[in-house]
Amino acid sequence: MNHNHPKEERTLVLLKPDAVQRALLGEIIHRFERKGLKIIGLKMIQMDEVLAKSHYGKYVDKPFFEGLKNFMGAAPIVAVVISGVGALKVVRTLIGSTKAYEAAAGTIRGDFAMSTQSNLIHASDPEENPEEEVTRFFSENELFSYKKINFDLLYAADELK
């Protein structure tokens, strides 16, 4: 068994109001766990206007921003930090296309969503500073570091070189 593990990545996932309202929280989180990723932070919050402007800042001047802000504040959201080797890419693969009606079957959006806005879930874009998103929603004392007992079974030694 290889014990020189590569650095794990962490990424932010937001389960949007439609995921909360449709009772899909457990199903969605279960998919990440089943894949072998670690949940290292988890909390339910209400997205207010300040947080919406901070998180979706690049869209503030767009005509759809008001609708997006209202949608994200319509019910609580669940913020999750997920960790694992290659987590940024793996999470986005599991989620599927932003345009949920185009998302592949088997992905979270492909199986449960039909809309672009009500697409259940947000995940950090690897190109847009995922660490900044993590720290926007979580302080370091709200995140946990631990080794999954099945890590060596999830990652074959030759894949980690």
Clarify whether 55 is annotated catalytic. no
CA angle 62, 74, 83 (to 5 degrees): 80
Tokens, residue 127 = 């190109």
Q: Pick the catalytic residue from 3, 30, 55, 122.
A: 122
Say which amino acid occupies 101.
Answer: Y
Report, in this order, helix, strand and coil percent for the chain, each rounded to 5: 45, 15, 40
Instruction: Tell me if 130 sits within 8 A of 124, measured CB to CB.
Output: yes
Per residue, the 3-state secondary structure of 25-78, as one string, reads HHHHHHHHHHHCCEEEEEEEECCCHHHHHHHCHHHCCCCCHHHHHHHHCCCCEE
Q: From the annotation, which residues make up the binding site for ATP?
A: 16, 64, 92, 98, 109, 119
Q: From the annotation, which residues make up the binding site?
A: 16, 64, 92, 98, 109, 119
| Enzyme catalytic residues | 122
